[in-house]
């Protein structure tokens, strides 16, 4: 038997520990896309709905192919309820129906429930399937779905007002699932693409500038200071069929690059982010070569590893116009601007000796564009959308496969033909 007084002590200690852990994790956490969701500088939602929401609902949207060339792969319509019957809730519940890829939600939501967007506490996120009946939205993470649609794996009752959301972080080249079997299942999408219903991009200009806000940066900072090394590449998927491998092999003939990761030299434990950061910060350039060349597909290599560490990204992946649209102006060097890997190498060598030119790639930090699309991180984006949506608006993806891959499978460049080989880079072979 524990004496009663001790029971209270134990209780108090547990509560303190829980509170401490919560704060600690809030402090530590980076969301799944590598961006911090927790921003205390943001004032709470201006987008809080009220009865006025109905005035916005009058001008209803219809899928417009002149605005969105992919509109033919989904339909949008009005439900036939009469305005007075609308139940405009001021709170929203989001249920995670599947597990998420890394089960990280257990850490963020120890009690199976949490406010994943602290600036919008109207939204409660939960992994508890019992909440399905009252859910406003239900999230299905792609990697956890059956390869072919199975009704038995889905919630058994579907409410008209409920948004079923397909969430995926990868680009279409990796898809293993038969998306055709999921036609007419999902109402919304969360993907890296800005034309998704909710942006789940790996990073964004908005988040980057938000983090800089109040930093009081000196526009004359010399970002080459303390960088003793030239170029670094972390690579862990080494398929000989990826475009980036062929390009890099050529580039390495003309310039020294330190190559780390599974395909190069192992210097950091995979989980040890601080180690990676320490390495990256010694370099002037970071090869942010994406694994796949897909439109608008820009990952944490760009946002977190390069920009986040004040290192200029050299990019290969999405077309240059996508980087221009989605990332800070003049923040990167795109391989397509060079007629050959050799001329890129020469340019990097030039920047290495010309501090003035090198620092041009950081001017964006003190000179943000006037308008930047709002992006508060995926869960805030979702909550904001739910709070602002007209209660009678309906949407459904009639052809999710074509929406995602492109009508002619043209969202991504196909990988190169030829047999699959694991490429290993031994940096010393290329030493200059």
Ligand X SMILES: *[C@@H]1O[C@H](CO)[C@@H](O)[C@H](O)[C@H]1NC(C)=O
Residue 232 burial class via C-beta count within 10 angstroms: exposed 0-12, middle 13-18, buried 19 and up: buried
**Contact residue for ligand X among 97, 140, 163, 283 (CB under 6 A):** 163
Whole-number minimum distance, CB 393 to ligand X, in Å? 7
The encoded tokens of residue 289 equal 């070569």
Q: Beta strands 312-316 and 257-260: pairing type?
A: unpaired
Q: Which long-range contacts (CB under 8 A, 24 or more apart) does 106-113 make?
A: 107/25, 107/29, 108/25, 108/29, 110/18, 110/21, 110/22
When the beta carbons of 80 and 353 are compared against ligand X, the nearer one is 80
When the beta carbons of 15 and 62 are compared against ligand X, the nearer one is 62
Q: Distance (Å, rounded) from C-alpha 302 to C-alpha 287? A: 9
Report which DSSP code applies to 10.
H
CA distances from residue 271 to 229, 291, 298, 310, 422 in whole angstroms, order as listed? 24, 20, 21, 21, 23
Whole-number minimum distance, CB 423 to ligand X, in Å? 19
Establish if 241 lies at the interface with ligand X (CB under 6 A): no
Establish if 57 lies at the interface with ligand X (CB under 6 A): yes
**Contact residue for ligand X among 26, 60, 360, 367 (CB under 6 A):** 60
- Helix or strand run (H / E) with residue 346: helix 341-353
Whole-number minimum distance, CB 17 to ligand X, in Å? 41
Whole-number minimum distance, CB 264 to ligand X, in Å? 27
**Contact residue for ligand X among 9, 78, 236, 409 (CB under 6 A):** 78
Nearest to 202 by CA among 302, 95, 81: 302
Establish if 87 lies at the interface with ligand X (CB under 6 A): no
When the beta carbons of 138 and 348 are compared against ligand X, the nearer one is 138
Helices of type H across 255-311: 273-280, 300
Whole-number minimum distance, CB 86 to ligand X, in Å? 9
Whole-number minimum distance, CB 217 to ligand X, in Å? 44
Centre a 10 Å sphere on the Cβ of residue 76 and count the other Cβ atoms it contains: 15
Establish if 81 lies at the interface with ligand X (CB under 6 A): no
What is the secondary structure of 97-147 as a DSSP string? -SPPTT-THHHH-TTSEE-S-TT-TTEEEE--GGGGGG-SEEEEEGGGS-S
Please report, as residue ranges, which positions from 173 to 232 form the binding site for ligand X (by CB under 6 A).
Answer: 184-185, 187
When the beta carbons of 135 and 259 are compared against ligand X, the nearer one is 135
Contact criterion met (CB below 8 Å) for 231 and 287: yes
Establish if 396 lies at the interface with ligand X (CB under 6 A): yes
The encoded tokens of residue 120 equal 């919008």
Give Cβ neighbours of residue 129 (< 8 Å, ≥ 6 apart): 95, 97, 155
Window contacting ligand X (CB under 6 A); options: 156-164, 224-232, 348-356, 404-412: 156-164
Establish if 398 lies at the interface with ligand X (CB under 6 A): no
Establish if 394 lies at the interface with ligand X (CB under 6 A): yes
When the beta carbons of 132 and 255 are compared against ligand X, the nearer one is 132
When the beta carbons of 57 and 168 are compared against ligand X, the nearer one is 57
- Provide the residue count of the chain: 432
Window contacting ligand X (CB under 6 A); options: 168-176, 205-213, 239-247, 392-400: 392-400
Window contacting ligand X (CB under 6 A); options: 9-17, 58-66, 358-366, 374-382: 58-66
Residues that bind ligand X (CB under 6 A): 57-58, 60, 62, 78, 83, 160-163, 184-185, 187, 392, 394-396, 417
């Amino acid at each position: 038997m524990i004496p009663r007084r001790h029971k209270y002590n134990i209780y108090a200690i547990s509560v303190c520990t829980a509170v401490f852990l919560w704060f600690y994790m809030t402090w530590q956490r980076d969301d799944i896309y590598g961006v911090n969701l927790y921003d205390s500088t943001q004032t709470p939602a201006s987008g809080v709905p009220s009865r006025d929401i109905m005035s916005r609902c009058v001008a209803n949207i219809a899928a417009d192919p002149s605005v969105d060339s992919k509109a033919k792969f989904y339909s949008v319509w009005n439900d036939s309820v009469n305005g007075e019957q609308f139940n405009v809730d001021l709170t929203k519940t989001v249920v995670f129906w599947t597990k998420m890829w890394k089960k990280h939600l257990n850490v963020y939501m120890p009690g199976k429930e949490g406010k994943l967007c602290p600036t919008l506490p109207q939204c409660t996120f939960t992994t508890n399937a019992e909440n399905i009946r009252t859910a406003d939205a239900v999230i299905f993470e792609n990697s956890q779905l059956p390869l072919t649609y199975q009704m038995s794996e889905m919630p058994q009752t579907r409410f008209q007002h409920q948004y079923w959301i397909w969430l995926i972080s990868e680009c279409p080249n990796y898809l293993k699932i038969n998306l055709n079997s999921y036609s007419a299942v999902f109402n919304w999408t969360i993907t890296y693409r800005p034309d998704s219903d909710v942006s789940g991009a790996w990073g964004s200009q908005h988040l980057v500038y938000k983090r800089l806000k109040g930093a009081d940066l000196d526009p004359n900072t010399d970002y080459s200071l303390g960088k003793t090394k030239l170029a670094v590449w972390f690579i862990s998927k080494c398929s000989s069929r990826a475009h980036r491998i062929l390009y890099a092999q050529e580039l390495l003939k003309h310039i020294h690059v330190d190559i780390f990761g599974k395909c190069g030299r192992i210097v950091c434990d995979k989980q040890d982010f601080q180690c990676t950061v320490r390495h990256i910060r010694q370099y002037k350039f970071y090869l942010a070569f994406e694994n796949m060349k897909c439109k608008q597909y820009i990952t944490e290599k760009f946002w977190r590893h390069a920009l986040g560490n004040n290192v200029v990204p050299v990019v290969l992946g999405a077309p240059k116009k996508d980087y221009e649209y989605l990332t800070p102006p003049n923040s990167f060097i795109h391989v397509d601007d060079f007629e050959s890997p050799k001329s890129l190498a020469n340019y990097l060598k030039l920047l290495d000796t010309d501090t003035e030119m090198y620092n041009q790639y950081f001017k964006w930090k003190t000179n943000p564009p006037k308008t930047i699309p709002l992006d508060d991180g995926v869960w805030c984006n979702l909550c904001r959308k739910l709070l602002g949506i007209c209660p009678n608006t309906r949407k459904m993806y009639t052809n999710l496969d074509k929406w995602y891959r492109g009508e002619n499978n043209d969202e991504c460049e196909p990988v190169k033909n030829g047999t699959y080989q694991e490429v290993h880079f031994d940096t010393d072979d290329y030493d200059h």
